[in-house]
Amino acid sequence: MFDYIKGELVFIGENTLVVENNGIGYLILSNARTLSLMPDIGLEVKIYTKLVHKEDSMTLVGFKQKEDRVIFDILTSVSGIGTKVALILLDEFSGSELIDYVINEDYKSISRAKGVGVKLAQKIIIELKGKLTSAKTNSEIILGKFQNSPVQNDILLEVQTILQSLGYNRNEYTSAIQIVLQRSNAKTSEEILKEALQLLSNT
């Protein structure tokens, strides 16, 4: 229903914030990591939101980074993970950290989060990895934009696929990958993805 809400930050609570837009104050549930990224009260903020609809309530959940919202969506589609556990996971780990653990099938690190056991961590990896790497992308974009790169095309394609799955458009992810390849010595998909996400999160 809402992709994002942009307006004046008027309140920050223990796990909530209020953003005012056109005279309407939107109460948004979030986590400590997101709240720590908020500007001072009175300044403009953009929050990527998800409307969680239950039988007896409707709740807006929001994040500063788009990929956190996407991962929240995927996490809550896993049996046994509700809003609370998903927020705990995205509090314990940044979006890029969680993606890194999933790609490397590191269930032990994920199981460190409160309320997440080994079996649930393994389910998360299966669900997230499948959804992050299943999107169809155009490999010609890689060949055309990065043909002089020393990084193998299959690595670049994996990074592109994941960024597309996180909701970034072609211009956004190709530009971010290009900048990473020009500025750093990143060679693995994990390294390139981490740096690309940092760039995209600051745009």
Split at pLDDT 50, 70, 90, the class of 24 is: very high
User: What number of residues does the chain have?
Assistant: 203
Instruction: Give per-residue pLDDT as tens, 51-71.
Output: 998 888 899 999 998 888 988
For residue 198, give the DSSP letter. H
Answer whether residue 15 shows pLDDT above 90: yes
Q: pLDDT value at position 95?
A: 82
* Distance (Å, whole) CA 160 – CA 137: 8
Instruction: Give per-residue pLDDT as tens, 135-180.
Output: 655 555 555 566 566 677 778 888 888 888 887 888 888 889 889 9
* Distance (Å, whole) CA 92 – CA 151: 31
Can you point out the beta strands (E) in 30-156?
44-53, 58-63
Q: pLDDT value at position 145?
A: 62
